[in-house]
Amino acid sequence: MTGRLEAFAGRRLPARRFEAMSLVFMSPAGLLLFFLFLAPVGYSFYLGLTNLQLIGPNSVHYRFTGLFNVRAMLRDREFYHSLWVTLLFVVGSGAIGSTIAGLVLAMLIQKGARALGAVVGGVAILACTLPPVTVAVLWHATTTVDGIFPMLLGMAKSEILYRYPMTVVSVANVWWLCGLSMLMFGAALRNISHEMIEAAILERANGVQRFLRIVLPSLRPTILTSALLMSLLSFGNFTLIFLLTGGGPANATNILPLYSYMEGFTFHRLAFGAMLGNVIVLMSAVLGVLFVLISRYSARRTATARPEVEE
């Protein structure tokens, strides 16, 4: 009897999937979701199909213009440039840079001295808890004239921030986010079976082989989750770039959120800025759906990896 109960412990028992009373309990969250997210997003999509401006006659008496802003956006060279810069920033510093930095830090902390690991981990966690304004001020001070990085590179009077703007903002984003990625990988590394590692050592597998054949496959779900989460966080990182470079020089760091802001509040084209914002919403939605799907895949993979209970 006990064996059967244990055998069924990990299985979902047949039950009704829907309860009418659940709608009552879910209604407050549903109302908040509608009024604070769905309604504003829907209104933004509508504004993107109008000729609304920040100032002028069209700021009050605006009208529906259909796909005019869509056609204007598709003809706009700066839109494609901004889209490319956004992909470089999100994928390069978010999905790849922050994930690799977090993995390296987590492995160094696991393998290194406990005191050194505590210091490095504390600094990384402190960095990811800082507000974007503080991060921007810090990196602006260290990459401009007489900053720490120009002095270390022997270019004390050089503006590294404006000579290599995309590199600087990407490194700053990695520095800001890698602490969160490090925490994720730290937890995943602790779940890897020590017996497998010890067996590989007995088989005379070197460190590279153990990493490629045991550690890396075990970390695959965490790598995917970290890459998508860092991408989502990088996608909305408007404040960092706005304060560091303002999108310049020569639009070198003009990512889509910044371009949308400039069009709406600097050039007073609110409808066109809303249309650019709608592109951001759609791209974020795709990343969000991928994040959910990969999270479910990771959960199923973890569940199927458990040894089956014998009756």
pLDDT, tens digit, for every residue of 156-170? 788 888 889 999 999
More confident: 298 or 104: 104
Which is it for the CA torsion 214, 288, 264, 67, positive or negative? positive
Residue 129 lies in a domain: yes
* pLDDT digit string, tens, across residues 218-246: 888 888 888 888 988 888 788 999 999 98
Residue 10 lies in a domain: no
* pLDDT digit string, tens, across residues 38-48: 999 999 999 99
More confident: 182 or 4: 182
**Contact (CB, 8 A) for 259 and 242:** no
Residue 226 lies in a domain: yes
The top-scoring range by mean pLDDT among 69-73, 106-110, 121-125, 152-156 is 69-73
Residue 308: pLDDT over 60: no
Q: Say how many domains are in the chain.
A: 1
* pLDDT digit string, tens, across residues 16-31: 566 777 778 888 888 9
* pLDDT digit string, tens, across residues 75-93: 999 999 999 999 999 999 9
Q: What is the pLDDT of residue 303?
A: 64
DSSP state of 158: -
Q: What is the pLDDT of residue 195?
A: 86
Stretch 60-88: mean pLDDT: 92
Q: Domain limits at 257?
A: 62-303
* pLDDT digit string, tens, across residues 188-200: 888 888 888 888 8
Stretch 274-282: mean pLDDT: 91
Residue 44 lies in a domain: no
**166: its two tokens:** 């995309």
Residue 143: pLDDT over 80: yes
Q: What's the whole-model pTM score?
A: 0.82
How would DSSP label each residue in 190-216?
HTS-HHHHHHHHHTT--HHHHIIIIIH
Spatial distance between the Cα atoms of 273 and 292, rounded to a whole number of angstroms: 29
C-alpha 47 chain-centroid distance: 27
Helices (H), the chain: 2-9, 21-33, 39-47, 68-75, 77-87, 99-111, 114-129, 132-143, 148-152, 160-163, 165-190, 194-202, 207-210, 216-218, 220-235, 238-244, 256-261, 270-305
Residue 2: pLDDT over 70: no
Chain mean pLDDT for the chain: 84
Q: What is the pLDDT of residue 311?
A: 43
Q: What is the pLDDT of residue 150?
A: 84
First vs last C-alpha separation in the chain = 9
Domain at 195, CATH number: 1.10.3720.10
Residue 53 lies in a domain: no
Q: Tell me the Cα Rg of the chain.
A: 25
Q: What is the pLDDT of residue 310?
A: 40
Stretch 100-119: mean pLDDT: 82
Residue 224 lies in a domain: yes
Q: What is the pLDDT of residue 14?
A: 52
Helices 270-305 and 39-47 pack at an angle, to 10 degrees, of 140
Residue 306: pLDDT over 80: no
Residue 309: pLDDT over 50: no
Residue 56: pLDDT over 80: yes
Residue 26 lies in a domain: no
Residue 3 lies in a domain: no
Per-residue confidence at 63, pLDDT binned at 50, 70, 90? very high
